Amino acid sequence: MIRFYNTLSGKIEDFRPLRPGELGLYTCGPTVYDYPHIGNYRAYIFEDLLKRFLIFSGFKVTHVMNITDVDDKTIKGAKALGVSLNEYTKKYIEAFFEDIKVLRIQPADHYPRATEHIEDMVRMIKGLLDKGYAYFKDGSVYFSLAKFPDYGKLSKINKEELRAGARVETDEYEKESVYDFVLWKKVKPGEPYWETEIGPGRPGWHIECSAMSTRYLGPTFDIHCGGIDNIFPHHENEIAQSEAYYGQKFVNYWLHCHHLVVDGEKMSKSKGNFFTLRDLLARQINPVDLRYFLLSTHYRKMLNFTFDNLEQARASRQRIIDFVYELEHQMLPQKSESQTDSVSTMTGKALADFKDSLADDLNISSALGAVFELVREINSRLARNELSRPAANVVLTAIHEMDKVLAILPEKKEEELPAEIVIKIEQREQARREKNFALADSIRQELLQQGIVLEDTREGVRWKKIK
């Protein structure tokens, strides 16, 4: 049985999906006003580990991640440059997709953009107005906390501090401001807006996620994730809007990762204490070493970013890589069935420990412990010349199996392709994302003429060389 810590109940719970064998997962995505920092990637990599483990455990996962391409910050950025919102966010959306690829984050099934779901948001806000959960004030619409007695059940805020009638206009605010929050913001001069049934304006940030998650996953779904900073007010507000509108439970399991910090402070744009992935690539940091670093501390523990810690992660990952290389390349005898048996037993135990650890609220330290234990045992057999080729192959199969969840071993395929071809493949991906299928097709044809066949799979695009 898989168990997770559920922020809603404050307890570790058995995971039971709504439908056997499948589940819906919603993860709050990037606000595309700038390049994401590696703290954001801690959240996305935790979510990737969770999703890969659920798939590994046999679930069919439908994963939705929103792109917040209209909010206070994107509007401010576009205004400062004097460009349209779309023009402004395009660059950062592209950067996000490039980043997740090099960090080996499996793509979601849907990436809904807020600007493409305004109708869904307006429908919900209208419903909330009709049901009396929301009200107009000076052309904007607010959610009335007094009408929703369950408010605070996720973040356990102190409702005594609730001030009747006080309103908060900004998307982000602290617990001291538990006020009626904004659902729809009246148009302001020089800002983008939509002409809608509830007047000209634009959505608040929180309604975006309620509308887009339920559009793709239904009114009640299984898992919702984010960083702990999302618990209040964002996720608390999502619950209020969704449960008030649909009249049923919104999400069964809420999973939140702790922060990546620098000197004890959350890494964030506003504090200026951040690195983007690009900053690290410029320092010759391997992105998969960063992935290993972000992944290898339990998601509910604070993680301290230092270059020393990153170096330690690199060295640990390298031990696994060296081990796999040795097993693949050493000349080993073909003999000894009894020996293969004992290695199979040891490997089977390591694989079972790995799975059991992750099933225990994604206990990654213990899961990696099982990997390193196996590395130690097998290395000592190698040193004593006691490992046969069949036994080594059993171990290799298990390590590659575990790497379906970890995704930290080198991918040979990508390294064999010349850079111009890799760029062409990425350009085709880009064209597909922009729904420029004519261009995507012409790139595919061009690659075909160079002997590269592309195949689009759930995990992304794969390629094959043909003669």
Interface with ligand AMP (CB under 6 A), residue from 266, 317, 355, 381:
266
Q: What minimum distance in Å lies between the beta carbon of 212 and Zn ion? A: 8
Q: What minimum distance in Å lies between the beta carbon of 326 and ligand AMP? A: 35
31 binds ligand AMP (CB under 6 A): yes
309 binds ligand AMP (CB under 6 A): no
Binding site for Zn ion (CB under 5 A): 28, 209
Alpha-carbon distance of 462 to 467, in angstroms, equals: 17
Q: What DSSP assignment string belongs to 214-279?
A: HHHH-SSEEEEEEEGGGIIIIIHHHHHHHHHHHSS--EEEEEEE--EEETTEE--TTTT---BHHH
Q: What minimum distance in Å lies between the beta carbon of 34 and Zn ion? A: 17
Structure tokens at 136: 């107009």
DSSP state at residue 109: S
Selection from ligand AMP, Zn ion, none that 373 binds (CB < 5 to 8 A by kind) is none
In degrees to the nearest 10, what's the CA dihedral of 441, 443, 444, 448?
140
Nearer to ligand AMP (CB atom), residue 112 or residue 402: 112
290 CB-near residues (< 8 Å, 6+ apart): 38, 41, 103, 277, 280, 310, 313
Nearer to Zn ion (CB atom), residue 67 or residue 209: 209
Nearer to ligand AMP (CB atom), residue 273 or residue 339: 273
Alpha-carbon distance of 37 to 31, in angstroms, equals: 11
Long-range CB contact pairs, 370-376, < 8 A, 24+:
371/320, 371/399, 371/402, 372/316, 372/319, 372/320, 374/346, 374/347, 374/350, 374/398, 374/399, 375/319, 375/320, 375/323
Strands (E), 352-451: none
Quick check: helix, strand or coil at residue 335?
coil
28 binds ligand AMP (CB under 6 A): yes
**Ranges of H-type helices in 271-388:** 277-282, 287-295, 307-329, 337-359, 364-383
Q: What minimum distance in Å lies between the beta carbon of 5 and Zn ion? A: 20
Nearer to ligand AMP (CB atom), residue 42 or residue 206: 42
Selection from Zn ion, ligand AMP, none that 209 binds (CB < 5 to 8 A by kind) is Zn ion
Which residue, judged by CB position, is nearest to ligand AMP in the bound state? 227
Phi, psi of 360 (to 5 degrees): -90, 75
Nearer to ligand AMP (CB atom), residue 31 or residue 144: 31
Interface with ligand AMP (CB under 6 A), residue from 226, 332, 343, 398:
226
Alpha-carbon distance of 413 to 425, in angstroms, equals: 13
Alpha-carbon distance of 140 to 179, in angstroms, equals: 15
Interface with ligand AMP (CB under 6 A), residue from 39, 112, 152, 203:
39
Interface with ligand AMP (CB under 6 A), residue from 74, 115, 140, 230:
230
Interacting positions 90-149 with ligand AMP (CB under 6 A):
none
Cβ 227 vs Cβ 31: under 8 Å: no
Nearer to Zn ion (CB atom), residue 28 or residue 54: 28
* Measured CA distances, 357 to 1, 2, 285 (Å): 11, 10, 29
Alpha-carbon distance of 136 to 363, in angstroms, equals: 47
Selection from Zn ion, ligand AMP, none that 45 binds (CB < 5 to 8 A by kind) is none
Interface with ligand AMP (CB under 6 A), residue from 98, 191, 229, 401:
229
Nearer to Zn ion (CB atom), residue 63 or residue 104: 63
Q: What minimum distance in Å lies between the beta carbon of 228 and ligand AMP? A: 7
113 CB-near residues (< 8 Å, 6+ apart): 66, 67, 69, 93
Stretch that binds ligand AMP, among 76-84, 112-120, 222-230, 379-387 (CB under 6 A): 222-230
Q: What minimum distance in Å lies between the beta carbon of 227 and ligand AMP? A: 2
Give me the residue label for tokens 């998601």: 299
Nearer to Zn ion (CB atom), residue 28 or residue 255: 28
* Measured CA distances, 132 to 118, 128, 245, 438 (Å): 21, 6, 10, 48
Q: What minimum distance in Å lies between the beta carbon of 106 and ligand AMP? A: 17
Nearer to ligand AMP (CB atom), residue 49 or residue 402: 49
201 binds ligand AMP (CB under 6 A): no
Nearer to Zn ion (CB atom), residue 28 or residue 75: 28
Interface with ligand AMP (CB under 6 A), residue from 25, 43, 105, 405:
43
268 binds ligand AMP (CB under 6 A): yes
Contact positions vs ligand AMP (CB under 6 A): 28, 30-31, 39-40, 42-43, 226-227, 229-230, 257, 259-260, 266-268
